[in-house]
């Protein structure tokens, strides 16, 4: 398949492109587009054929449900049960924005979109292009991240093309995204609201609106998946966001962490392996082996979130064999950063005492 790549920033014909993209979606085709979180791979969320194509293009297991993206609150009533005051409160506070709500679905939403579940995940993205596209398509757009399943999510159009060129109808390239990590997911189908995936809307922000809420066991303790606990967000059981290299993270006093990483990197290089190191601006100078990449200043969680996936993909480009990283546990986005980072590392986090 020939993929049309439209560079939005360099193109004056914005309206024409959006119209064309909307038509592709309406006819059951696939269009990748930017949102404020990561790039999405969009198809008509009410058309089972379109969701089949999404799963095929990504190589995604079909029991891993898709998020439906809407452009106004009226659209929500078509696809989900909305007589729950918490929905209205959260929508007013956080939409459009990096928040996905899991709700009881209406019959119009095919089970092939929801991974066979009776619930549907819905989000209103805070990105003009995304909202214009949903409006032009005149249907909720099912959009997982626009990457090959398992790889780090794409935070710019070039990374989308790397994974999906030739597999989808169109890519709308508008440069780099704002946040760089996927949305927060909250399950509202139970009595107590429950966080299924941490994101830029934090537990504290939810609690300001809803009072006390829960955090899913798998988010709190990722090893519980291995013990046979079935996650409520089916995507949580898959290895995710991962570079090709083996990634290990180290927690502890910064000099001791650097000492340990230097020791391992020296040994690896002696064995002919290519080593990458992810460090903060403040600690980068402590490393003497491997290729050191600065992810951001220690307290700049916004910058760290924005850089994470691109750095992992750059190490893939360079065919790095092993990546060693510090942990990044400061700031409002720390939970979301460490959730993705530790998954990319298959939970390989070593405490240096
Ligand atoms: P992605 O589209 O790659 O950002 O991932 C979407 C994630 O949302 C999936 O992996 C699921 O874990 C979660 N999700 C989507 N729909 C539902 C649902 N109905 N119930 C629970 N989790 C969901
Ligand atoms: Mg994804």
pLDDT of res. 132: 98
Query: How far is ligand 2, taken at its centre, from the CA of residue 87, in Å?
Result: 24
For the Cβ of 218 lying below 6 angstroms from any atom of ligand 1, the answer is no
For the Cβ of 232 lying below 6 angstroms from any atom of ligand 1, the answer is yes
Closest-CA residue to 297 (of 326, 257, 267, 264): 326
pLDDT at 338 over 90: yes
Residues comprising the chain, all counted: 353
For the Cβ of 45 lying below 6 angstroms from any atom of ligand 1, the answer is no
Structural domains in the chain, sorted by start = 4-224 (3.90.870.10), 246-352 (3.40.50.11030)
CA 250 – CA 256 distance, rounded (Å): 10
Residue to substitute in 40, 41, 67, 145 for testing ligand 1 pocket (most ligand atoms within 8 angstroms of CB): 67
Mean pLDDT, the chain, rounded, equals 96
For the Cβ of 102 lying below 6 angstroms from any atom of ligand 1, the answer is yes
pLDDT of res. 135: 98
pLDDT of res. 133: 98
pLDDT at 296 over 90: yes
List pLDDT tens digits, range 95-109.
999 999 999 999 999
The answer for 126, left when phi > 0, alpha when psi is -120 to 50, beta otherwise, is beta
List pLDDT tens digits, range 24-34.
999 999 999 99
pLDDT of res. 271: 98
CA 350 – CA 353 distance, rounded (Å): 9
pLDDT of res. 128: 97
Q: Which residues contact 52 (CB under 8 A, 6 or more apart)?
A: 112
Residue carrying the six token digits 């998020």: 67
Burial of 13 (0-12, 13-18, 19+ CB in 10 A): exposed
List pLDDT tens digits, range 74-98.
999 999 999 999 999 999 999 999 9
CA 19 – CA 24 distance, rounded (Å): 9
For the Cβ of 127 lying below 6 angstroms from any atom of ligand 1, the answer is no
- What 3-state DSSP class applies to 342? helix
Pairing of strands 99-104, 119-123: antiparallel
């Amino acid at each position: 398949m020939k993929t049309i790549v439209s560079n939005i920033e360099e193109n004056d014909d914005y309206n024409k492109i959006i119209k064309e993209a909307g038509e592709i979606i309406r006819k059951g085709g696939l269009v990748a587009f930017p949102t404020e979180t990561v790039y999405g791979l969009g198809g008509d969320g009410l058309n089972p054929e379109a969701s089949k194509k999404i799963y095929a293009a990504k190589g995604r297991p079909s029991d891993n449900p898709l998020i439906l993206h809407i452009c106004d609150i009226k659209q929500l009533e078509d696809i989900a049960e909305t007589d729950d005051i918490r929905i209205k409160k959260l929508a007013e506070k956080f939409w459009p924005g990096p928040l996905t709500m899991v709700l009881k679905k209406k019959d119009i939403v095919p089970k092939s979109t929801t991974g066979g579940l009776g619930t549907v995940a819905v989000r209103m993205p805070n990105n003009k292009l995304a909202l214009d596209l949903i409006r032009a398509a005149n249907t909720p757009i099912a959009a997982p991240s626009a990457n090959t399943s398992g790889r780090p999510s794409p935070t710019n159009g070039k990374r989308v093309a790397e994974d999906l060129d030739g597999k989808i109808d169109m890519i709308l390239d508008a440069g780099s995204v704002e946040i760089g990590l996927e949305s927060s997911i909250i399950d509202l189908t139970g009595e107590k609201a429950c966080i299924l995936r941490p994101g830029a809307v934090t537990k504290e922000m939810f609690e300001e609106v809803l009072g006390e809420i829960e955090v899913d066991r798998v988010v709190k303790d990722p090893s519980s998946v291995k013990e046979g606990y079935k996650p409520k967000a089916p995507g949580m059981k898959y290895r995710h966001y991962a570079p090709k290299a083996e990634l290990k993270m180290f927690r502890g006093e910064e000099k001791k962490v650097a000492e340990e990483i230097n020791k391992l990197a020296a040994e690896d290089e002696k064995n002919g392996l290519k080593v990458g190191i992810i460090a903060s601006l403040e600690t980068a100078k402590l490393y003497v082996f491997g290729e050191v990449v600065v992810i951001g200043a220690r307290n700049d969680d916004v910058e760290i979130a924005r850089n994470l996936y691109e750095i992992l993909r750059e190490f893939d480009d360079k065919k790095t064999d092993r990546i060693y990283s510090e942990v990044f546990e400061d700031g409002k986005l720390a939970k979301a950063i460490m959730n993705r980072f530790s998954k990319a590392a298959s939970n390989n986090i070593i405490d240096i005492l």
